[in-house]
Amino acid sequence: MLMLFLTAAALVATIATIYSPARDPFWYETLVKPGLMPPDWVLSSIWLLLSVLLASSAWLLWCSAPWRSVSAALLLWWTQLVLCGLFPALLFGLKDLDGAIAVAAALVVAAGTTIGAFGRHSKLAAWMLAPFLGWVTWLASMVHQTWLLNV
């Protein structure tokens, strides 16, 4: 199962790489961005680390209890993974700041809910998701500020 979770997280990281600022650097560079927006290489590095944490937390949860008791928590995990793939596709693929903000907000809610569900079965798995929640919350704020600066 660890390989399934790693593969799923790697697929999302690949989507984030395909749909990155490099996809259309002219569009991204013309946006006015908040001063705290990190360079592109930082974004990629953080997503790689978070992908490993996401996969590892799901695997720990999987190992912590019978499937029936963790299935709802893992459904939340898969939901946040889908939202993770959708976010860069909207932002950098479709250049849809409104859609990206909506997905980012949904991702923050999904990540928080997932942490709560994971915590009922494995405290370590839940804590491994905390950096992800922090990152997506901060990133949602950056995208929202970018939107405000460009309307």
Q: Average pLDDT in the 106-130 region?
A: 97
3-state secondary structure 129-150: CHHHHHHHHHHHHHHHHHHHHH
User: Cβ(19)–Cβ(86) under 8 Å?
Assistant: no
At residue 42, does pLDDT exceed 90? Answer: no
Residue range 21-33, pLDDT digits in tens:
877 888 888 999 9
Q: Three-class SS of residue 36?
A: coil
Look up tokens 């600022």; give the residue: 21
Q: Average pLDDT in the 111-123 region?
A: 97
DSSP class of residue 22? G
Q: Average pLDDT in the 45-53 region?
A: 87
Q: Average pLDDT in the 10-17 region?
A: 87
pLDDT of residue 13: 86
What fold is seen in the domain 2-150?
A: Ferritin (1.20.1260)
CA angle 143, 23, 42 (to 5 degrees): 55
Q: Letter for the amino acid at 80?
A: Q
pLDDT of residue 74: 97
The mean of the pLDDT values for the chain is 92
At residue 73, does pLDDT exceed 90? Answer: yes
pLDDT of residue 57: 97
pLDDT band at 72; cut points 50, 70, 90: very high
At residue 96, does pLDDT exceed 80? Answer: yes
pTM of the model: 0.90
The residues spanned by each domain of the chain are 2-150
pLDDT of residue 105: 97
